Chains A and B, each alone.
Chain A
Amino acid sequence: MKINYTKLLKIFLISIFYFVIDMVVAYAHGEKAMEPYFRTRTVMFYDVTWSTDNVKVGENVTIEGKFRLHSDWPQAVDDPDVIYVNQSIPGPVFAKIESYLNGVPARQSFRDMEVGKDYHYKMVLQGRVPGNHHVHPGIAIKGSGTIIGPGQFIKVSGSQKDFKFPVTTMDGVLIEDLETYALADVFKWHSTLAILGIFWLLWWVWRPLLIPRYQALKQGREDLLITRLDLTVGILLGVFVFVAIVYNYNVQANKYPITVPLQTSRMYTDPLPVADPQIKINVSRAEYDIPGRTMRMWVEVKNNGDNKVRLGELTTANLRFINKSFGHAMNNVTANYPSEHMADGGLEIDKDKYINPGESHKMFITAQDARWETERLTAFLTDVDARVGALLFFYDEEGNRKILDVASSILPVFTDDDGTGPSYQRIGR
């Protein structure tokens, strides 16, 4: 058959073309795939900052912030008995230099975290691979997975070839680059054993192999199949391999006289000392208006403190709804905070005012944004655990902040009649 090379080349080029045009870059790290009860009622990130959004290869970026372990911890998620301060980045595009939880080095995992408490984390990453990378902090919970915090694009410029990671061992030896450390030993030894193995295979494969050997064996001529020479070569090879192992093992032991096993232990830190906010909140009803893409909450706030407080922000699943008419709340938004985590409409509060000490005040909160849908947070409509949680940020007149975590069952609303404004408040009252 005559092969039509031109046709084959065309098919090849078309295949490549379709492959290339179909490629899209994935920027997310799967957070949308996590159920709403996971994202709204477990690790609640806030005050997240990135020291810069532009570094060169070899330069550092610091990510820090706080998180609260929500009091209404879902039944389906393992308790935070063991956690790890993690990061979500597209592969090792950054090298991790340092990480801390409440100032304690977070090289290893932490145990016995307390639900309802706050923790501070910090990590320092160093640019390694050029590109525009989406960088999230994350808290990994043993048995459940990593809860990802808000993400920021950080541009790494330069050349990966310039990346070097020097390390000094405890016996004072400077390793110029961790990326290539001791690889020469590995290549040499693996090549040696591979050559010995290939020699042994060739020794047998080179000679008449399958059909002749099978037939000869059937005729009872095993004596021809394995000769004295084969036996001698085999024994010599076995002895050589054994001696080579012992010899190289000792060479390495002399080359690196001090070694330690892999290190593992569980760390512990107390939660941050956060004062009692002296605010009690009762969520009497929460709804999600499906056509309006709006979450509504009816809450009663009792101020047991000595200062007047006012609601400034609702945060859930890394989405921030800010009370834009309130200066203290707006001041809490840093200039370079990623816009994809800011709800455009902000937080609407009916009867928005300072709540006096000792006063109980009923409020109707509206958090409207298309991100409820695009972030797949409306899956609580189909989940077995149809509850939603959030952090509420209150401020006193001097701008001091008090944070409360709230949660409630959430009811879907399928129609949009009278779905806006105070007149709608009759529902649930």
Chain B
Amino acid sequence: MSKSESRSFFGKIFRMRSEDREILKIVGLNKEQAGLARYFDFLVVAAAFLLFCGAFHLHVMLSAGDWDMFIDWKDRQYWPLIIPIDTIMFPAAVQAAFWYYFRLPIGATLCGVCLLTSVWIGTYSYWHLWTMFPIVLNVPSIIIAGCILLDVILLIFRRWIFVACIGAPLFALTFYPSNMAALTGYYVPVEHLGSMASMADVIGYTFPRSATPEYIRIIETGTLRTFEGTSVWVSGVFAAFVCIFLYMLWWQIGMAFSTVKTWSQSPKLKKYLGFKG
């Protein structure tokens, strides 16, 4: 495809449509005002991107960092349970604000892209360049697939309760397969010091983290034979169940934090401050 054809291909996808022109028309923005609004959009988009990169990354690192950071923590029990539960919070809250005020079904995907961006910057800069760990040790999780599904469910049903009941479980249940679509190779068996280990175990052992002894790992220590010997889907279903309620909670938190409320609106407070009620 030539450059001009390429431009015209993307131009067709991202063109200003008649509905968009109609929006500008009904809100009464002339060309200059529309241009200024556009600048404002880009400023907010850039700021929001950086904000969510930092905030969401911090949230995940503080609350579930080891499972996300280290390949030898990505087990069948805790990893598919903890990461979806931990990472649905921000997408739910951001979705709420973007949907309620702008009817934009992109909050979750924005969070997913921001997290992936920041976590790869971290993996490459402070893990690989600064502290010299090979990237294989710090391959991060990815939640973008689940985030896109959350946004699409919101777009289709347009009610947060449906997203909570359908999208949130999908978010949790697709987490494991959407990650194993890249990580399966790290679970190939290897003979290591006379016993069997996964490749991820060997990576964790070979590139030592002095402050992270083996016993500190919180990973599966038993087997659920009832469920075909694997705990993945039990963890997945439990995560899906928890995600339903966490999504509801964090949607409300997102709404609360995107609503401007000031104490001075309280008649009682006004009275205490000496204003006439």
Contact = CB atoms under 8 A, between A and B. Distances in A.
A59 interface: no
A260 B41 contact: no
A6 interface: no
B5 interface: no
Contact of B191 (A170, A173, A210, A234): A170
A99 to B, nearest CB: 8
A162 interface: no
A403 to B, nearest CB: 26
Contacts of B217: 262, 264
A215 B213 CA distance: 56
Contacts of A94: 208
A214 B144 contact: no
Given A234-B155, A235-B156, A170 B104 contact: no
A237 interface: yes
A237 B148 contact: yes
A371 B268 CA distance: 66
B185 A255 contact: yes
Interface stretch (A18-26, A176-184, A314-322): A176-184
B235 interface: no
A261 B76 contact: yes
A182 B26 contact: no
Given A197-B113, A246-B177, A256-B188, A261 B220 contact: yes
A214 B103 CA distance: 8
Interface string B10-33: 000110110110111011010000
Contacts of B220: 261-262, 264
Contacts of B26: 215-216, 219, 221, 224
Contact of B210 (A146, A170, A211, A241): A146
Interface stretch (B54-62, B193-201, B238-246, B249-257): B193-201
Contact of A196 (B16, B38, B148, B198): B148
B145 A193 contact: yes
A84 B180 contact: no
Interface stretch (B80-88, B130-138, B269-277): B130-138
Interface in B207-252: 207-211, 213-217, 219-221
A88 B213 CA distance: 11
B196 A84 contact: no
- Consensus secondary structure, chain B interface: helix
A179 B134 contact: yes
B17 A227 contact: yes
Given A92-B208, A183-B135, A225-B23, A264 B202 contact: no
Interface residues of A, number: 101
A428 B139 CA distance: 62
Contact of B182 (A83, A189, A235, A260): A189
Contacts of A262: 72, 74-76, 187, 198, 200-201, 217, 219-220
A109 B214 contact: yes
A170 B194 CA distance: 12
A82 B215 CA distance: 8
A211 B40 contact: yes
A343 B199 CA distance: 45
B44 interface: yes
A5 interface: no
Contact of A259 (B110, B132, B184): B184
Interface in A349-393: none
B103 A213 contact: yes
A46 to B, nearest CB: 21
A242 interface: yes
B187 A259 contact: yes
A109 B213 contact: yes
Interface residues of B, number: 97
A222 B102 CA distance: 9
Contacts of B27: 211-212, 215-216, 219
B15 to A, nearest CB: 9
Given A95-B207, A238-B149, A259-B184, A196 B106 contact: no
Contacts of A244: 145, 181
A256 B187 contact: yes
Contact of A29 (B74, B183, B191, B210): B210
A185 B182 contact: yes
Nearest to A107: B193
A142 B216 CA distance: 8
B178 interface: yes
A262 B54 CA distance: 31
B103 A217 contact: yes
Nearest to A110: B215
Contacts of A264: 214, 217, 219-221
B75 A105 contact: no
B189 A208 contact: no
A180 B113 CA distance: 24
B181 A189 contact: yes
A208 B190 CA distance: 54
Listed from nearest, the 10 A-B pairs whose CB atoms lie closest are A248-B181, A182-B185, A238-B152, A140-B213, A84-B213, A105-B193, A189-B182, A259-B187, A252-B184, A215-B27
19 contacts: A89-B208, A107-B195, A109-B213, A129-B132, A142-B215, A173-B188, A193-B144, A208-B41, A213-B103, A214-B101, A215-B27, A216-B26, A234-B156, A246-B177, A249-B177, A249-B181, A261-B75, A262-B76, A262-B201
Interface of A: 29, 82-84, 86-89, 91-98, 105, 107-109, 128-129, 138, 140, 142, 146, 165, 167-171, 173, 175, 178-183, 185-186, 188-190, 193-194, 196-198, 200-217, 219, 221-222, 224-227, 229-231, 234-235, 237-238, 241-242, 244-246, 248-249, 251-253, 255-256, 258-264
Interface of B: 13-14, 16-17, 19-20, 22-24, 26-27, 29, 34, 37-38, 40-41, 44-45, 72, 74-76, 101-106, 109-110, 112-113, 116-117, 120, 131-136, 139, 142, 144-145, 147-149, 151-153, 155-156, 158, 174, 177-178, 180-203, 205-211, 213-217, 219-221
Given A95-B207, A219-B26, A262-B217, 13 more contacts: A92-B207, A92-B209, A185-B184, A194-B116, A205-B106, A208-B41, A226-B105, A234-B155, A241-B145, A256-B184, A259-B187, A260-B198, A262-B76
